[in-house]
A and B are shown apart, each in its own frame.
Chain A
Amino acid sequence: MKSIQELSEIRDRMKQAMVIRKGTEKSYDAVAGQGSVRSQVLICGGTGCTSSGSVNIHKALDEELERRGLQDQVKVVQTGCFGLCANGPIMIIYPEGTFYSHVKVEDVPEIVSEHLLGGRSVDRLLHKEKVDGVLTTIPSLADTGFYKKQHRVALRNCGAIDPENIDEYIGTDGYQALAKVLTQMTPQQVIDTVLASGLRGRGGAGFPTGRKWQFAANQPAGKKYVVCNADEGDPGAFMDRSVLEGDPHAVLEAMAIAGYAIGADEGYIYVRAEYPIAVHRLQVAIAQAREYGLLGQDIFGTGFNFDITLRLGAGAFVCGEETALLTSIEGNRGEPHPRPPFPAVKGLFGKPTIINNVETYANVAQIINNGAAWFSAMGTEKSKGTKVFALGGKIVNTGLVEIPMGTTLREIIDDIGGGIPNGKKFKAAQTGGPSGGCIPARFLDTPIDYDNLLAIGSMMGSGGLIVMDEDNCMVDIAHFFLEFTVDESCGKCTPCRVGTRRLLEILEKIISGNGEMEDLDRMEELCRYIKEGSACGLGQTAPNPVIATMKYFRDEYIAHIVDKTCPAGVCKKLLRYSIDPEKCIGCGKCARNCPNEAIVRTDYIAPGHKLASMQILAEKCVKCGACMSGCKFDAISKS
């Protein structure tokens, strides 16, 4: 078990070892004198980069270093997500801070010989991005447009430390906040600090975290629980996963602090079983924290006990809802309960329980270390601090971004996200996942915070931010989310179970070309009925994607209903594919790609071409699009 003294010694030692990553020491020698290796190579081991092959790069690099006898001079560190997932696998080499993107296994020998031995950067691997319309080489991560407007608090260690090494976390002042609360603060002072910081829940609803803790602390002493919601139900989001993969100790430390504040000695993390890397890193982190005595009995000799158990969630959206989540930890079908009683009064196994989101916890230790005023200086009047978003969809820089509250959507999309690819036009941004709404272009300059997003008919949600362009059909998107909620409704109450199904049927009618104008009124009425009658948040918010699209994109609904067309060319049953005989060179590739023999040769030969053009037989076409995506001559279009 470590004492506070020992903790500080590890911190000081690790700070020295990691100073190289500040990227300020420009020459190898300066750093070598400080007793650390001369170069450190950070490789992203988040899910995104792992999917694009970072594990093999790590292996190849280890082997190459060994072959050249450099293993003691160059340290390779596997980190969590850097954020720029679209450009993965990502590698950063310190002390220079050189940023390589799209690295391949074949590039490794050159990186070693040129960069690590020769001291010259491998220019072709340097990250490039458009600056004022010109493709420019960006030498370091901090200089990318993607990073400039970000402010990393919850993500501060993601991509900066090795998440499987507790010493590195300690080297960034890790567990100092726990030491501070246990030795210098009363539980009430901890709660007051969190209250004063203005921190609100990052799981969606935005409830003030300090108030929640106060409720639980006010319950009579006895068994209490601290729970972390790592269920991340939004089907298009990966913020919480990235925090767990990149900085698991931040969550453990915060849970212990919360335990001290409310008088609990046991915590549960409910994490999706589908997140194998996050689960593994949590297991490693919990074992290391126990070994150091930072979890367990009599922490720092103060008499405070706290331990954490992992529970694997099994993929049900409703289990992200807090009462359902607790039922699921108890081992039952995760069905929600009516509140009150709130979990703070009667929660897990009937005991007072606080439940917070991963990102909420990721802010706590820093609030304790830096003070409430430091935190509340960021953000807007009622939404303090930062918010992490998983930026995806039709955007150049897909990835993970953290911005101060109050940043506009336009800044996120244009400056950080690098705009929309292929010169397409922005149509809408979707936040809040299946419970949220979509934001049309006219609100791009709205400062993002809890209240503003609600006012424009969407919500903060947990942080999914999906950008859609002119090629996306908003009726189809509404259908997509509703299909999700119909699937995920636990079936307990009628408005949610039957109401969402009826709503989906009407949407299906519309996208098949059988809609009538009266359907719009029927949908509005159903939405109201589901919202008002459902027992839990899932049903109460399920109509939101429909309501928002009907409000902002009514013309698209009308086009489907009256003109029987899908303006974006998505809804299959309303689509017609056709071949432009002047552009078609008659190569016949489309006919070979067609699964249904729906494409035949005509006898028309366009001027300048040798072969007769092709033609699509509407009655046989199954509208799969295989012809169009295979055509190299842009001769096939859909309408």
Chain B
Amino acid sequence: MKKKLTTVVFRGTPEQEEKLIAAIDKYKGVKGAMMPILQEAQSIYGYLPIEVQKIIAERTGVSLEEIYGIASFYAQFKLNPDGEVAVAVCLGTACYVKGSGQIIEEVSKQLNVAVGSTSPDGRYSLEATRCIGACGLAPVMTINGEVYGRLTVAEVAGILEKYR
């Protein structure tokens, strides 16, 4: 998926930084540890802003370019924080042939958030995912982890209303 840099301000705390440093040190001397480090960093902060990547670069001695290269390569790494209301629409093949392309457009329009980004106030985020394994319910989307299946375009507004 295409990556966009975030417009949301970084709000890391000292406690988070402490945890991050502990996580980095845990992998000292382990072969191929950059991915697990980034995965832990993401679970601490919820995403991987450039500020966090810098800390990792300083602590591991790996260049920031290289870390950014890895973070932007993999779909799992988020350069954008999830919104308080995080919407993910499945664009896996099974969902797509059942119309999830129209669903994601409708969500984007309703929330006024582009696919793959977070509203500047941090309230809403919208992402496209690949098959989430619920093809039996296609087309599906999740909002903060809650699964909504067998969607129609007309239902979208009503579902989102609950999260306004």
Chain A interfacial positions (CB closer than 8 Å to B): 46-48, 51-52, 84-88, 234-238, 241-242, 273-275, 311-316, 319, 328-334, 349, 390, 392-394, 398-399, 430, 433, 464, 466-468, 472, 477, 480, 487, 490, 593, 595, 624-626, 629-630
A-B contact pairs, 29 of them (CB 8 A): A47-B132, A48-B137, A51-B132, A51-B134, A52-B137, A85-B137, A86-B136, A87-B136, A88-B136, A235-B131, A236-B94, A236-B96, A236-B131, A238-B135, A241-B133, A273-B76, A275-B133, A312-B35, A331-B31, A390-B131, A393-B138, A399-B136, A433-B93, A487-B1, A490-B73, A624-B105, A624-B106, A624-B153, A629-B153
Interface residues of B in 52-104 (CB under 8 A from A): 69-70, 73-77, 91-98, 101-102
Contacts A87-B136, A236-B135, A487-B1 given; does A315 touch B130 at CB 8 Å:
yes
Partner of A398, one of B94, B105, B147: B94
Are B131's CB and A314's CB within 8 A? no
B26: Cβ under 8 A from any A Cβ = no
Flag whether B20 is at the interface (Cβ < 8 A).
no
* Chain A residues with CB below 8 A from B120, complex form: none
Given contacts A235-B93, A312-B36, contact A51 B31 (CB under 8 A): no
Complexed CA–CA distance, A241 and B130 (Å): 13
| Residues A316 and B73 in contact in the complex (CB < 8 Å), given A51-B132, A235-B130, A332-B34 | yes
The answer for the CA separation of A47 and B131 in the assembled complex, in Å, is 11
Q: Judging by beta carbons under 8 Å apart, are B2 and A392 in contact?
A: no
Which of chain B's residues have a CB closer than 8 A to the CB of A236?
92-96, 130-131, 135
Residues of B within 8 A of A477 (CB): 97
Mark each residue of chain B from 95 to 132: 1 if its CB lies under 8 Å from any CB of chain A, else 0: 11110011001100100000000000000000001111
What 5 A-B pairs have minimum CB-CB distances, sorted nearest first? Answer: A236-B93, A392-B94, A85-B136, A331-B32, A47-B133
Bound CA–CA A464/B130 (angstroms) = 13
Q: Are A274 and B97 in contact (CB under 8 A)?
A: no
B46 CB within 8 Å of chain A: no
A394-B97 in contact (CB<8A): yes
Contact A274 B39 (CB under 8 A): no
The distance from the CB of B7 to the nearest CB of chain A, in whole angstroms, is: 22
- Choice from A242, A329, A330, A333 contacting B69 with Cβ under 8 Å: A333
- Interface pair B73/A349, CB less than 8 Å apart: no
Q: Determine whether the beta carbon of A464 is less than 8 Å from that of B93.
A: yes
Known: A235-B93, A235-B130, A274-B129. Contact between A625 and B153, CB under 8 A?
Answer: yes
A311 and chain B: residue at smallest CB distance: B35
**Nearest CB in chain A: distance from B95 CB, A:** 8
Determine whether the beta carbon of A52 is less than 8 Å from that of B131. Answer: no
Q: Is there contact, CB below 8 Å, between B109 and A624? A: yes
Residues of B within 8 A of A332 (CB): 32, 34, 70
B143 to chain A, nearest CB (A): 13
Please state if A393 and B93 are interface contacts (CB–CB under 8 Å): yes
- Find B98's partner among A241, A316, A333, A394 (CB 8 Å cutoff): A394
A629 contacts which of B91, B130, B140, B152 (Cβ < 8 Å)? B152
Bound CA span A332–B34, Å? 7
Count of chain B residues with a beta carbon within 8 Å of a chain A beta carbon: 46
Residues in chain B within 8 A of chain A (CB atoms)? 1-2, 31-36, 38-39, 69-70, 73-77, 91-98, 101-102, 105-106, 109, 129-138, 140, 147, 149, 152-154
Cα distance A46–B135 in the bound complex, in angstroms: 12
Most buried by A among B2, B73, B105, B138: B73
Q: B91 → chain A, closest Cβ, in Å?
A: 7
Q: Which residues of A contact B147 (CB under 8 A)?
A: 51-52
Q: Point out the residues of chain A lying under 8 angstroms from B136, CB to CB.
A: 48, 52, 84-88, 392, 398-399
Contact A316 B135 (CB under 8 A): no
Q: CA A48 – CA B32 in complex, angstroms?
A: 33
Instruction: Please state if B135 and A85 are interface contacts (CB–CB under 8 Å).
Output: yes
Name the residue on A nearest B93 (C-beta): A236
Complex Cα spacing A430 to B93, Å = 9
Q: A85 — which chain B residues lie within 8 A by C-beta? A: 134-137
Q: Smallest distance from the beta carbon of A461 to chain B beta carbons, Å? A: 11
Find chain A residues with CB under 8 A from B137 CB: 48, 51-52, 85-86
* B contact residues around A311 at 8 Å (CB): 32, 35-36
Is B93's CB under 8 angstroms from A314's CB? no
Residue of A nearest to B135 (CB): A392
- CA A86 to CA B136, docked complex, whole Å: 4
Residue pair B109, A468 in contact (C-beta under 8 Å): no
In the bound complex, residues from chain B placing their C-beta under 8 Å from that of A624 are: 102, 105-106, 109, 153
CA–CA, A52 to B146, complex, Å? 10
Query: Quick one: closest B residue to A397, CB to CB?
Result: B136
Contact: B74 with A316, CB < 8 Å?
yes
CA distance A394 to B135 in the complex (A): 11
A47→B129 CA distance, assembly (Å): 15
**Chain B contacts of A275 at CB under 8 A?**
133
Complex Cα gap A399–B138 (Å): 11
Q: Which A residues lie within 8 Å of B102 (CB)?
A: 624-625
Is the beta-carbon distance between B97 and A315 smaller than 8 angstroms?
A: no
CB-defined contacts of B1 to chain A, threshold 8 Å: 487
